[in-house]
């Protein structure tokens, strides 16, 4: 029989940000540095994982397209099981746990099992990638609306994205590398101009970051010809064509 007085651990849903350890919140850094059980996604930068103390039990639940180390239901069960065994668990996710991070599903299962949860927000992948690439997601001259969508999911062609992109709007697409061609066709079929600027940001906030720019009509070839791999985000809208700040930043770095 279970002991009703036994300690129940807390599950900390922690956002690891876009990659650079310097972009962790202080709360996130402290939790990682004191973790005893750390459950992490595959996109968490190794430099962040290296901050965990010696003896920390590291559990990878990395996901790749159509190939998961653990199904989401198994991850949820793992968190509950560890907490009910009395362990505090740091559940480390790239970006923010509540922005395409399935943090909501994990929190719900934990609460249902009587496990306390604390959410530690992180710099979202969209915010971190745009800032690293010097792309303002909003701009008084270009965009006053920002939308986030997932580009890798079932029924992509059936989803209604009408109005999410266009003049005065910015569309940020997570997990869209594998479906870039279909995304471009879908948006153009919805009436978006083939000449609409796009930017693909690969490995944002990391030393190997790449920013590729083009047009909506050329999005598929842009991704394929440059062999873009995850983690990468796609930004579609007039702001994606504003390369002046990035160019100035590069010039200033050369001058230094």
Annotated catalytic residues are 41, 63
Greatest alpha-carbon pair distance for the chain in Å reads 69
The position carrying tokens 């923010």 is 96
Count each helix (H run) and each strand (E run) in the chain, helices first.
8, 12
SS (H, E, C) 20-51: CHHHCCHHHHHHHHCCCEEEECCCCCHHHHCC
Residue 230 burial class via C-beta count within 10 angstroms: exposed 0-12, middle 13-18, buried 19 and up: middle
The position carrying tokens 């001259």 is 141
Whether the Cβ atoms of residue 97 and residue 122 lie closer than 8 Å to each other = yes
CA–CA distances in Å: residue 189 to residues 160, 180, 216 = 11, 14, 12
Closest listed residue to residue 90, CA positions, set 67, 56, 47, 140: 56
Q: Which helix (H) or strand (E) holds 157?
A: none
Strands 67-68 and 210-215: unpaired
Q: Please report the sign of the dihedral spanned by the C-alpha atoms of residue 2, residue 4, residue 7, residue 10.
A: positive
Q: Which two three-digit tokens encode residue 233?
A: 């985000």
């Amino acid at each position: 029989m279970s002991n009703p007085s036994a300690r129940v651990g807390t599950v900390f849903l922690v956002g690891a940000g876009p990659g650079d350890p310097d972009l962790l919140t202080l709360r996130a850094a402290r939790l990682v540095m004191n973790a005893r059980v750390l459950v992490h996604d595959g996109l968490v930068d190794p430099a962040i994982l290296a901050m965990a103390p010696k003896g920390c039990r590291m559990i990878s639940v990395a996901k790749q397209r159509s190939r998961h180390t653990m199904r989401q239901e198994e991850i949820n069960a793992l968190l509950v099981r560890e907490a009910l065994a009395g362990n505090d668990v740091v559940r480390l996710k790239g970006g923010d746990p509540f922005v395409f991070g399935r943090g909501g599903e994990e929190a719900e299962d934990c609460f249902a099992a009587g496990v306390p949860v604390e959410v530690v927000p992180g710099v979202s992948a969209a915010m971190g990638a745009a800032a690293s690439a010097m792309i303002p997601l909003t701009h008084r001259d270009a965009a006053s609306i920002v939308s986030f969508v997932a580009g890798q999911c079932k029924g992509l062609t059936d989803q209604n994205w009408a109005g999410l992109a266009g003049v005065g709007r910015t569309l940020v697409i997570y997990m869209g590398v594998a479906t870039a061609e279909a995304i471009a066709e879908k948006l153009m079929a919805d009436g978006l101009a083939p000449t609409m600027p796009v930017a693909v940001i690969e490995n944002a906030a990391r030393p190997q970051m790449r920013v590729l720019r083009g047009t909506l009509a050329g999005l598929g070839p842009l991704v394929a010809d440059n062999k873009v791999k995850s983690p990468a985000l796609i930004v579609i809208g007039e702001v994606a064509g504003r390369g002046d700040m990035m160019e100035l930043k590069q010039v200033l770095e050369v001058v230094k």
